[in-house]
Structure 1
Amino acid sequence: MIRRAAAGPWLVALLTVLFTLASFLTPLPGQHIGVLAADRLVGVQAQSFTLTDQYNRPRTIAFPTTKPLVLMLGDRGGSEQIEPWVRELYQRYGDSIEIQGIAILRGVPSPIRPIIRSQLRSRAPKSVLLDWGGSVADMYHCQSDVCNMIVIDRQGRISTIVRGGVSAERSRLVCQVLDQIR
């Protein structure tokens, strides 16, 4: 005879596990398409950091700021997606937001770095921060081969993270967040 166990402790344990798993699959307020559900950075205070740009000038990103900040991080593969985003955001917001590009250059050998700086000086007159060690990329859980866009409000809270190239849906979501925090 098969005996059925009472729907007591094991059912409660099972439901607890299911609800815990569901919380990782449910987006937090402010999370959007292009954000991994497990990426719990939205709503978190952004950390300050200092990197140098292609002109070897140090730049510190710290909070609070006078404008919302959009960080655009990309490795070589993701760098192609950054320029269309910058063009679209500047067209819509002009100087009411700050956009900062960050090149993820993890693994570039020291002897090659001056060549990379030189190439960036000729291609990008605006300051591009250079993340040689990948510490900032790691801080924001950046993905390879895509633009990783982090929108941060004036107080330094991460408002949204979007990964990938410009699309109508991603653009609408980023602009919706920027409109709220400007």
Structure 2
Amino acid sequence: MSARLERNVDRPVALALSGGGDSIALLRLATDWARENGRRLLALTVDHGLSPASADWTAFAEGAAREAGADWRGLAWTGPKPSTGLPAAARRARHGLVADAAREAGARVILFAHTADDIAEGEVMREEGSTLGRLRDWAPSPAWPEGRGLVLLRPMLDAGRAEVR
């Protein structure tokens, strides 16, 4: 990860921060790295507006980011939501919002907190009919349409959820 992050040292590194345990663990690792390397970390949280508790999750993520010493920006998925295919639509919206915000901030790298458990869960979901990407899409630094011009890094893919939390 460090080799990718050593480029563009004058730019912030973005981090997708849901507020869940995996992304909080990555936030802690990334803020330590940023401090040691004199880099700015920008945490980006998307409020999908799908749950009555979504504003609370967003506020929690903001507090965690600021407490860790990261810059933070909240993003909102607004407008009508589809009646079918909601998880895939939410994922596309989240990726698009995070990519756009990272670009606007001048970031070239976005960190996502996916773990080995996410890969296993994705396999089960696909067997049940999900459109979630195939295993090849779970590369540590995959190509993704929303992120043109950006590098997506998943530094925790080799670790299980229990290891990172």
TM-score, normalization: structure 1? Answer: 0.36
Higher relative contact order (CA 8 A, sep 6+): 1
Q: Which has the larger radius of gyration?
A: 1
More strand by share: 1
